[in-house]
Each structure stands twice: as structure tokens, then as C-alpha cells.
Amino acid sequence: MITKLSFIALTILISSCSTFVNTIDDDLLDKKPIPYKEKNQKRFCQSTGEITLLSETKENHAIFKKFIEKYPMNFTEKLAIWTFVQMNERPDRSSPTGGFQIIIGKDQYFYFHSKDKISFPVLYGLSFLLDKTKRSRSLSQLAALYDKHYPKRFFVSKDFSRFLLANKEIISKNQKLNSLYKRADESLRENERVPNQNISKLISIYKRTKSKYIMDTDLFKENNYRCSFDIKKYKAFKFEIQNSTSSSHTFGITSKKDKALIALTSDLSSFTNLKDTIFFHARNTNKKSSACIMANKYKRLWLFSSQSRDPSQSLAQLINLNIFSSQTKKDIALSLDTPRHLVLNSPKRIILEAEKMNEEQKQIHHNLNIPMYNAANLGNISVYFRNKKSESFILDTRDQKALSCR
């Protein structure tokens, strides 16, 4: 939301800034609006049980919980199995060759990636986390357990079905992808089965590939928060705009003692399959979700922002709204509902969620006197919040996520 105070700063930005790239993604504009969740939709947990899960679909939540009851394991092992499930549910955004970001434990941040043409940062990152956890099974042992005993019932989500339909012609040009994700001449539809992937086979490919990996843990710090982008630059309206939208799949898991929020990011600028697997081959680029961690002795807030040409802008807007002053989960949810905007240049323009704005907010934007474009939804933000009384993941109304509290 642009306030009257920030209007002055934004006007200066629009008239003088020359740091942006010069195109807009068509998928930002108002083509197929994703409606807000119903007002009575559960957006956070009032209380939590032994395991809390966040993912795109809810079908596998009960299956996963039964599996870990039958095969006891520590939190890191559960995290690895939950990641296997997510990879199978979204083989486009959760490619093992994409970037792997995680906020875990006591506000620890890791970003695993590689510059090599073929590499497996997701598997490398999981292996690293397992190795640093005492008495953990190895990645190969967990994969064998998963392949043998986990019920393989994965179904196409609404968002994945949209992706397959939107890229139908490109997918048809790749024989392997075409055979996996089309039936006759039609793309797989919502609730149809996603092909299963043998994880042990994938790990064998990973072990044969001698790649170098990078693990970033540094974040920019200011006051009580740390972010993956330079906060001071964004306050000065010096943004870092990508030339296309980054595609991330975010999910999470908590137990009584441990928590994790994960973002897997795939750059699918070329549609090829990853060797003999169900996965789309993600290019190794610098694209990733934007992350922020805000913590003090009373509360903590973790955020991942994605699905945007500049996901950091959405987090910077929340910081300007002083989201960390929020005392409750409901306050956080209300902050997430604030209408967003995305500033681009060459030519100067703003993409904004006009239909979510009140008349005063719309007028402030119109007073800028530059081209504006409406978007039904700008970006997705995944949130974990904890205070002394309770904790929960909090759903962004723009995202198609499911939450299980017990």
C-alpha cells in the first residue's frame, strides 16, 4: 500500500530511477484472476499438534503423518521425506537441479546452489542437513525407505494443471515430458495422477555427477531483521528486477521443538526433462525466493517471497508497513492482505492490485500520472510466526496453499 508519505518518495523514484529492465511479464497482468480465499478459510492454526504441515495440496498430509508414525524418525529425516513428497507433487518448481533455501531451527538460513550445468543442490542440501544431525539416516537410506513404503498417490494440483496447460505446446516438443504430462492430446488435469519418481534412482544420478556446490548463509542485517536482499538499497528504491518471474515452491513442517520453512526455485527457461526422471531440468541461475528473518526474545517471523519479477519488493513493502510490530497471527494475516504494487521502468509503469485497493489508495496511484496495469495477484509470501503463546504458518490469500495443524 502506498501511503501519502511514501507517495512523495515514489514520485521521486518514478521520475529519476534508471535501474530497471524494460519488459513486463505477461503472467503479471490480469488474465486469470485467482480469487481470494473465503473469509472463513483457515489461514493459520489456533493451536498446533505434534506435526504441522504447509504445502500446495492437502491430500498427502494425512498420508505423510501416518508414514512417520509407522517409521519413527528425527525432525531432519521427516524434513527430507517431506521434501521428497513435494518434489513429486511439483516436478516443475521442485526440480532437484534448482536452488534450495531453508530457514530452520534457531533462525538459521541456508541457500544451496551451484554454477555447474548439471547439479543437484536440493539433494546436496538435504544430505548436508542430515550429516549435521546426530543419529540420522543417510539420504540414500531415507530414499530406500521412501521408495519401498511411502504410498505413491500424487495428484495434479490446480496450479500445476495451469502450468501444464499454459506450456502445452512447449512440453509437446519434448518426447519424455510429453509422455509424462499428456494423455492423448490433452494435458493432465487437476486431480489426475502425477507420475511417481524413484528417489533412489535420482540419488544414484546425483552421486555420479561431480559438481561443486555453494552454501550461502549470509543475510543483510538491519535492526531486528535480516534479509537476503540489501534492505538499505530497497529503502532507497534501488531494486533488482529480474527479466522473468522466478518460480518457487514453498512448503513447511514443524514439530514441538523444531521448525523449517523451505523454498525450492526452478528456472525453466528451457523445457527439457532431467535425464530419465519426471523432473523438468532447471537451469542454474541466481533466481531464488527473497527471504527475511525477524526475531527478538518475544517473537520470530520468517518470510519467503516468490512468483514475481522482484519478490524483494513485496517484502520491502511489508517492512515499510512495520509488519514486525504485529503481535498476533491475525495481525500478520491482515498485513499480508495489504494491496501490493510492483514498480518497473523503461517505460515507466506500475503493476498494482487495483481491485484490492480502496478509492484513496487508487487515487494516490493515479496522481503519479504514469501507465498502470492491474494484476489480480502480485507474488506469493509464505510465513511462519511464533510468539510466547503460539505459533503457526500463515497463509497468503493470493497463494493456493493448504495447512494442517494436527
Average pLDDT per run of 10 along the chain, which is 406 residues long?
46 38 44 45 84 92 95 97 95 89 96 92 97 94 97 88 90 88 89 90 93 96 93 88 83 95 84 82 80 94 94 93 91 94 82 86 76 89 93 92 90
* H/E stretch holding 172: helix 168-172
3-class secondary-structure state, position 1: coil
Grid cell locating 156: 495434479
The partner residues of 402 in beta bridges, in order of sequence, read 55
Q: Are 130 and 112 in contact (CB under 8 A)?
A: no
Structural domain contains residue 369: no
Q: Which three three-digit cell numbers place residue 344?
A: 518497473
Q: Give the length of the chain.
A: 406
Instruction: Give which of 347, 340, 316 is closest to 239, Cα–Cα.
Output: 316
Domain assignment present for 82: yes
Q: For residue 178, tell me if it sits in a domain.
A: no
Q: Please give the residue range of the domain that contains residue 143.
A: 33-155+193-340+378-404
Q: What is the pLDDT of residue 269?
A: 63
- Does any domain span residue 179? no
Decide if 198 is inside a domain: yes
Q: Is 14 inside any structural domain?
A: no
What pLDDT does 284 receive? 66
* Domain count for the chain: 1
Look at residue 140 and give its three-state secondary structure.
helix
Task: Look up the pTM and report it.
Answer: 0.89
pLDDT value of position 57: 87
> What's the CA dihedral at 294, 252, 43, 384 to 10 degrees?
-10
Give the number of other CB atoms < 10 A from CB of residue 357: 20
386 domain-assigned = yes
Helix, strand, or coil here: 157? coil
Residue 302: beta bridge partners? 293, 384
Q: Please, what is the end-to-end C-alpha distance for the chain in angstroms?
A: 35
Which residue is associated with the grid cell 516443475?
Answer: 92
Q: Which helix (H) or strand (E) holds 79?
A: helix 75-89
* Residue 31: per-residue pLDDT: 44
Residue 26 domain-assigned? no
Element (H, E) at 249: strand 247-254
- Return the pLDDT at 211: 93
| Contact between 259 and 104 (Cβ < 8 Å) | yes
Distance CA(76)–CA(73), nearest Å, equals 8
Interior CA angle at 323 toward 319 and 328, to 5°?
165
Confidence (pLDDT) at 14: 42
DSSP per residue over 6-34, as a string?
HHHHHHHHHHH---S-S---GGGSSSS--
Output the pLDDT for position 366. Answer: 75
- Whether residue 35 is preceded by a cis peptide bond, meaning omega within 30 degrees of 0, is no
Neighbours of 30 (CB within 10 A): 14
Q: What's the CA gap between 177 and 330, in Å, rounded?
A: 42
